[in-house]
Amino acid sequence: MKMKSTYVVHYSEIALKGKNRPVFARLLRYNLRRALAQVGKVAVHESEGRLVLDFEGDESDAEERIAKVFGVAWFARASIVPSEYDSIREEVVARAESHPGGTFRITARRTDKSFPIGSQELATRLGGDVVSRTGRTVSLSEPDLAVNVDVLKGMAMVYSSKSRGPGGLPVGTSGRVLHLFSGGIDSPVAAWLMMKRGCRPVYLHFYLAPTPEYAIKSKVIKEVRRLSDYSGKSTVVLVPFAQYQIATTGVPGDLEPSLFRRFMRVTAESLAAKFGASAISTGDCLAQAASQTVWNLGVFDEGSSLPILRPLLAYDKEEVIQLARKIGTYEVSLEEYKDCCAIVTRHPKTRAKRELISQFAERLAFDQLARESVDAATLVSFDPATGSLKASPLKEMGVSAGVIPGEPGEPLHASNVRQ
C-alpha cells in the first residue's frame, strides 16, 4: 500500500570528515534518492546534522533499500510536528499509549536554541506527562519503548524504533577500483567491503567457455545483481581465457597459478585508465590457499603501477561465509560453474620466485597479451532500477577514462554530485 512517510537518517563516520563532510553527505543523499526512486517518490534534504527523507510508496520497500545504502548508520520512521511543546507532548504520549510495553525512556535533543526548553528539561517534562497520562514507568537502562525527540528549526521529529544501516562511506566517495571477480565465495564479499569504504567496483572476470554467454547466464552475473542492491548500476568486463591459455602452453604446472594471477593483474592495469579506476582489488585472504601465501602475494604485486587492495586479507573462511550469508551471495556462490581455476594446477608452489614469474611474463609479452585479450572482451552492464542487463563487445563501446557506457549521469567523484 502506497503512503507518505518520513524517515530520519543518521550517519556516523561521515561526521568525522571535517571540511569534506558536505561532499560525503551530498553523495549519500544522491545514493539514497537513487535507491528509493526505484520503488517510489523520494526527496532527501539535510537538516542540522541528520538527513530527512520524505517517501511516498511502500514502507517495507523503502526500509529494505535504506538498510543497504552505505553511509547510513541508522534510520527510523519519524513523525514531524510543530516545534511547540503541546504538539510534541501529544505525539510522544500517543506513541506511549500505542506501545504494548510498560516501561519507557525519552531522549531529547534541542539543536534549535530558540526553543525555550533545554534538552534535559524537555525529556523530564515529557516523561512526567507520559507517566501521568498512561501510568507507565521510566526505565533508563532497558525500556520497552525508547522515544527520541529532535527539536530543529521550525519543526520537531519524534521517532522510536531505530533500524541499523550498513555504515561505512557512500559508494563513490573513494572512486573506482578494478575488482578481480571469480564468482566464488570470497570475491563478492571483498567487493561488498570495498563498497563499504566508498569504492565503486568495476568487475573483471576471466571466463573459460568459448563465448561469454555461459558466463552471462552463470552465477557470476547473479552475484553482481545481488551486489547491485548496495552499489546501484554495475559494470562487468568479461575477458576470454583462451588467448592466455594458448600463449602459456608448456609453462611448468606448479607455476601456473602465480603466473595466471600476474596476468590477471596486468590485464586489470590495462583496463584501469579506461574506467577511471585508481586501484585494483581482490578477494585474497592471507594463507587461505597456496596461491595466497605472503610470498605469492608479493609475486602478484611485483611491478604493479596501481595499489592492490585486499579487504579480506585477515579474515578466516568462516568469517567470510558469515558475511556472504548476510549480503545474500553465499548460496549463489555455491552454484556449479566451471571457471579458469578449474584447469589450473591445484598443487602450486607456495613460494614462487618473483624473478622467475617476471621472466615468464616478459617472455610471453603479457602487456601485449593483455591488450589482445581485452580487445576480445565483453562489457556487461546491469541497472537494478530497470532490471536491464546489456552486453556488448568492449571495443565497440568507446570507453574513455572515467566514463562507463550504461551508466549515464553516474558520478565518479562526490564533488560532481548535484544538490
**28 and 103 fall within a common domain:** yes
Beta strands in 30-114 (DSSP E): 40-47, 50-57, 74-81, 103-110
How much is the pLDDT for 12? 83
How much is the pLDDT for 224? 96
CA distance 364 to 374: 16
**193 and 141 fall within a common domain:** no
For residue 170, being part of any structural domain is answered with no
Task: Indicate the residue type of 295.
Answer: W
Phi, psi of 145 (to 5 degrees): -135, 125
**409 and 311 fall within a common domain:** yes
**115 and 203 fall within a common domain:** no
Beta strands in 2-73 (DSSP E): 3-10, 40-47, 50-57
**143 and 252 fall within a common domain:** no
Q: How many domains does the chain have?
A: 2
pLDDT tens sequence for the chain (419 residues): 578 999 999 998 887 788 888 899 999 999 999 999 888 899 999 888 889 999 998 888 999 999 999 999 999 999 999 999 999 999 999 999 998 888 999 999 999 999 999 999 999 999 999 999 999 999 999 999 999 999 999 899 999 989 999 999 999 999 999 999 998 999 999 999 999 999 999 999 999 888 899 999 999 999 999 999 999 999 999 999 988 888 888 888 778 888 889 999 999 999 999 999 999 999 988 888 777 888 888 888 888 899 999 999 999 999 999 999 999 999 999 998 887 766 665 666 788 788 888 888 889 899 999 999 999 999 999 999 888 999 999 987 655 444 454 443 444 444 444 44
pLDDT tens digits, one per residue of 344-375: 656 667 887 888 888 888 898 999 999 999 99
End-to-end CA distance of the chain: 30
For residue 171, being part of any structural domain is answered with no
**147 and 219 fall within a common domain:** no
Last residue of a domain, one of 164, 197, 222: 164
CA distance 125 to 139: 15
For residue 115, the enclosing domain spans 3-164
How much is the pLDDT for 300? 83
pTM of the model: 0.89
Query: DSSP code of 366?
Result: H
Would the CA dihedral through 182, 350, 252, 372 be positive or negative? positive
Query: DSSP code of 169?
Result: B
- Please name the residues in contact with 87: beta carbons below 8 A apart, sequence gap of 6 or more: 81, 156
Q: What residues pair up with 365 in beta bridges, in sequence order?
A: none
How much is the pLDDT for 414? 44
Q: What residues pair up with 205 in beta bridges, in sequence order?
A: 238
For residue 169, being part of any structural domain is answered with no
* All cell numbers assigned to 269: 592495469
For residue 397, being part of any structural domain is answered with yes
- Please name the residues in contact with 175: beta carbons below 8 A apart, sequence gap of 6 or more: 198, 199, 200, 276, 277, 278, 279, 412, 413
